[in-house]
Amino acid sequence: MSQNIDKIQDHVELFHQPEYQELFENKKAVEGMASPEEVEKIAEWTKSWDYREKNFAREALTINPAKACQPLGAILAAVGFEGTLPFVHGSQGCVAYFRTHFTRHFKEPFSGVSSSMTEDAAVFGGLKNMIEGLENAYSLYKPKMIAVCTTCMAEVIGDDLGAFIGAAKKDGSVPETFPVPFAHTPSFVGSHIVGYDNMLKAILLNLTEGKKKETTNGKINFIPGFETYIGNLRELKHLTAAMGVDATILADNELYLDSPNDGEFKMYQGGTTLEEGADSINAEATITLQTYPTVKTREYIEEKWGQKTFTYRPWGVKGTDEFLMGLSELTGNPIPAELELERGRAVDAMTDSHAWLHGKTAAIYGDPDLVMGMLQFMLEMGVEPVHVLVNNSNAEFEAEAKALLASSPYGSKATVWGGKDLWHMRSLLFTEPVDFLIGNSYGKYLWRDTGIPLIRIGYPIFDRHHLHRYSTIGYNGAINLLNWIVNALFEDIDRKTNIPSKTDISFDLVR
């Protein structure tokens, strides 16, 4: 099975070689694999209504949940602040998973360290690991702040982060005044959006302690939320600058996750400065662009800072209109002609493609705020959502989604499936097919099984490059969404009409 050094083959080609095919056949024999006929029979049954009923009745098993665990969101919030090193109190394997998950999506290095807990720490506690880990992280990587979160192991045994960090400072691992915010982020409850919320709140609590002033600083804080489209951070900066808003973006990881290749590696790129984070307590107001990853943070800002908070989702034309009008009302600044032009371009593009999308049916899955934003946009285009699946759902989201769907005649076919997974979605797509599916890279298995076109919008996107660099918010984001959806449908039409004299009736050059 050795390879020719002059012709190294990609695994896609490599595993088709005779020696690998023979290995696979031997493996089937050793494992007692069922016959191809039996496999085909069962596969066909899994497409039926009978199987769907059994599938939806399961309680003790989750298959491809379309969510991640809390620490993943916590470290994304952490790297949005300058010079901040995420520190995961748990085993090395956990933090390695988090780093690779982000690296595969953003195609950028993602730094994070762990306390390297093993069996002895699981029995006796991880205090020693914390003391040594903070000392090593501080001396080796020279951060300006270390943000600590936890994994399952640390939470199950009940490690007290506050006490541990206090002991580490007393032991001299880091200076007493060095900022070490911490958040308990057990992986067995909640999801990545809860972890983001917990960590952001912890960082703001740490940085703003004792920083409240008599007067405001005249700024407005913006919290993007669990944002994995770097283009959205740039679009937010573009919109606020055009509106003349003096903005502080809290957890601004734009440059960290999309840094230039200039020949020099920098572990910490960009981010909200610690001074800006500390002064955010004195802002006029805080605006979040996502509801569900900011629940505790908004509550903390309102109750402890005495600051007003607002939430807008600037997806599609209506959502962006509401966001800009809200900014105008808050600041007194008019909406500039520049943004009116962008709005006109978006409306023009939507008009151009409307006939191809109006009346199409769709399924969607993802995080609550992404799904809400996409529903807003699809309803504007006359797309009819049928299956709306959110695993990390709650009662508030489901009520909000149902209200939005009920507000449009195009939402009448939709069912909101909270707490379900992608194996449930498979049953839905086979028993009630739709014209296209919106979701992350994991949906490619649904596309392969059902043949329903997948439009990759969400997180993570591992199998396509550069989509995270685009925006999905604002008028420019609306054009991007439109582009992805309508051209994916054109590609599907071409695939289905590409056999000369048989299926090429509509293999048109002009669409």
Residue 428 scores a pLDDT above 70: yes
Helix (H) or strand (E) holding 145, with range, is: strand 145-150
Please compute the mean of the pLDDT values over residues 263-280 and round it to a whole number.
96
156 tagged catalytic: yes
Query: What residues pair up with 415 in beta bridges, in sequence order?
Result: 387
Lowest mean pLDDT among 91-95, 106-110, 211-215, 328-332: 91-95
Please compute the mean of the pLDDT values over residues 132-159 and round it to a whole number.
95
Phi, psi torsion values for 443, nearest 5 degrees? -70, -10
What local confidence, expressed as pLDDT, does residue 507 receive?
Answer: 84
Please compute the mean of the pLDDT values over residues 371-391 and round it to a whole number.
98
What local confidence, expressed as pLDDT, does residue 154 receive?
Answer: 92
What local confidence, expressed as pLDDT, does residue 475 receive?
Answer: 98
| Closest C-alpha to 425, from 400, 402, 401, 450 | 450
Peptide bond into 368 cis (omega under 30): no
Per-residue pLDDT of 465-510, as tens digits, reads 999 999 999 999 999 999 999 999 999 999 999 999 899 887 888 8
Average pLDDT for the chain: 95
Per-residue pLDDT of 187-236, as tens digits, reads 999 999 999 999 999 999 999 999 999 999 999 999 999 999 999 999 99
For residue 92, give both structure tokens.
Answer: 């090395």
Percent of the chain with pLDDT over 70: 99
Query: Which strand ranges, in their side-by-side order, compose the sheet holding 220-223?
Result: 247-249, 220-223, 285-288, 308-311
Rounded to a whole number of angstroms, the distance between the first and last alpha carbons of the chain is: 48
Residues 252-264: b if buried by 16+ CB within 10 A, e if exposed: bbbbbbbeeeeee
pLDDT band, very low/low/confident/very high, at 148 (cuts 50, 70, 90):
very high
What local confidence, expressed as pLDDT, does residue 446 receive?
Answer: 98
Residue 461 scores a pLDDT above 60: yes
pLDDT band, very low/low/confident/very high, at 103 (cuts 50, 70, 90):
very high
Please compute the mean of the pLDDT values over residues 371-389 and round it to a whole number.
98
| Closest C-alpha to 181, from 297, 269, 94, 311 | 297
Percent of the chain with pLDDT over 90: 89
What local confidence, expressed as pLDDT, does residue 369 receive?
Answer: 98
pLDDT band, very low/low/confident/very high, at 2 (cuts 50, 70, 90):
low
Q: Which residue has the higher pLDDT, 418 or 504?
A: 418
Residue 350 scores a pLDDT above 70: yes
Residue of 69, 79, 94, 152 with catalytic role: 152
pLDDT band, very low/low/confident/very high, at 1 (cuts 50, 70, 90):
low
Q: Which residue has the higher pLDDT, 253 or 509?
A: 253
Lowest mean pLDDT among 20-24, 142-146, 174-178, 203-207: 20-24
Q: Which residue has the higher pLDDT, 1 or 74?
A: 74
For residue 253, give both structure tokens.
Answer: 């990881």
- Residue type at 224 in one-letter notation: P
Predicted structure pTM score: 0.95
Per-residue pLDDT of 300-348, as tens digits, reads 999 999 999 999 999 999 999 999 999 999 999 999 999 999 999 999 9
| Closest C-alpha to 218, from 245, 242, 237, 241 | 245
Domains, the chain, in order of start with CATH, read 70-208 (3.40.50.1980), 220-337 (3.40.50.1980), 340-497 (3.40.50.1980)
What local confidence, expressed as pLDDT, does residue 4 receive?
Answer: 67
